[in-house]
Amino acid sequence: MIEQLLIIGCGNMGGAMLAGWLASGADPARFAILDPALPEAPEGVALFRDASEVPGTHDAVMLGFKPQQLRSLAPGLQGVAGEGVTVCSLLAGITRNQLSAAFPEAAGHVRVMPNLAARINKSPVILCEAGLDEAARGDLFALYDALGTAVWLDDESRFDLVTALAGSGPGFVYRFIDALAGAAEELGLERAEAEQLAVATVDGASSLAGLSDIGPGDLADRVASPGGMTREGLNVLDKDKALHRLLVETLRATRDKGAELSKGA
């Protein structure tokens, strides 16, 4: 079991994950934060401003700063990410080899990619590790599975694509909800009403898709009666595979940004 996790850089994602762990009933004393800018930590969670202040009782660290900061910050973190410590990274695009080079004494190196739904324990969490034995893999899996659904990815070459889908995906869904509400507003609804209905519609549709034994494409067709209103709208989205092609380009750009971040680190 991971007795103590040190979160290094507790921004939006790290904060969401910490909130999810605490909401699941985890003891706040299991967590500590190293962040010079964070105003305050949740009750019971220790907050350190400098690596020299950290007592060294943790057995894993989670990197939550910007990928571009790895090269400059790693030298000062060797004391907290050394022998016996597993390094977990939220840094988009940073490979296991880069983590190993940055923290050569660490017990293992793990790429982790959740999304902001970790705050409500509904996030997929993609894990890709190097150097862990089966016991350590089990400990890591249990820790991150508490945030939703953890999944091991053995082929690291697919990590940036999985990140584009499961990590960045909520941003695209939020943009769709906003566009759906904006379109309804343009056609005559009040903005607040349109947004409330759009959010409720996507929430219900995604919940049903998660519980259904048929795929989302088939669900869309079941909503659409031949010659009906829904089918008329789907005809617009489906024409020349417009929505499909747009999302292929969206995921491609997001995936390729991971490789760019890796080169710049």
The domains of the chain, with CATH numbers, are 5-157 (3.40.50.720), 169-263 (1.10.3730.10)
pLDDT value, residue 265: 67
Q: Taking 70 as the threshold, does the pLDDT of residue 210 lie above it?
A: yes
Phi (first) and psi of residue 126, to 5 degrees: -90, 130
Q: pLDDT band at 55, cuts 50/70/90?
A: very high
Could you report how far apart the first and last alpha carbons of the chain are, in Å? 31
Predicted TM-score (pTM) of this structure: 0.90
pLDDT in tens, 218-247: 999 999 999 999 999 999 999 999 999 999
Amino acid (one-letter) located at 24: S
202-233 burial: b if 16+ Cβ within 10 Å, else e? beeeeeeeeeeeeeeeeebeeebeeeeeeeee
The predicted model gives 64-85 an average pLDDT of 95
124-152 burial: b if 16+ Cβ within 10 Å, else e? bbbbbbeebeeebeebbbebbebbbebbe
pLDDT value, residue 236: 96
Q: pLDDT band at 34, cuts 50/70/90?
A: very high
Q: pLDDT band at 152, cuts 50/70/90?
A: very high
Q: Taking 90 as the threshold, does the pLDDT of residue 56 lie above it?
A: no
